[in-house]
Amino acid sequence: MAEATANGLGQHTLHAAHDAATTGAPPAEVHQEHPIKLYLVVWAWLFILSTCSYLIDYFGLHGYLRWSLILIFMILKAGLIVAIFMHMAWERLALTYAIILPPVLVLVFVAMMVFEADYTLLTRMAFFGAGP
């Protein structure tokens, strides 16, 4: 326990260690330095993935294959950007979940709505016919 003593001027001082834990002062901001090689490797991967996206159009792929590949490349590029350039790879897991989990849940709910819309369409066609 800290001991209160008079300093000769009638004021009391506490004899305790003065650090962030005892004084309640915020700790100094910690800054991480990452090697430039990491950023150059990520840039190279982004360039390769962007080239692959361009080659999909160049080779004339169509239909679900085209859109699937474009979406896969888009998600990979977004993941690299978020992980490295936005420093999410070095954040606490709770913060990562707080940022990543909501968009994932939105995608799950959209997928559920797509299946429900198909079910509704098929039910209407079965009971009301194909239309005029």
Residue-wise pLDDT for 14-24, tens only, equals: 444 444 455 55
Query: From CA 127, how far away is CA 120, in angstroms rounded?
Result: 11
Is the pLDDT at 49 greater than 60? The verdict is yes
Is the pLDDT at 114 greater than 60? The verdict is yes
Mean pLDDT of all residues belonging to the chain: 81
Alpha-carbon Rg of the chain, whole angstroms? 29
Query: From CA 47, how far away is CA 76, in angstroms rounded?
Result: 12
Q: Residues near 20 by Cβ (< 8 Å), separated by ≥ 6? A: 26, 27
Confidence of residue 29 (pLDDT cuts 50, 70, 90): low
Q: Give the DSSP letter of residue 59.
A: T
Check residue 56 and give its pLDDT.
94
Distance of CA 63 to the CA centre of its chain: 29
Distance of CA 10 to the CA centre of its chain: 56
pLDDT above 90 coverage of the chain, percent: 41
End-to-end CA distance of the chain: 87
Q: Give the DSSP letter of residue 130.
A: S
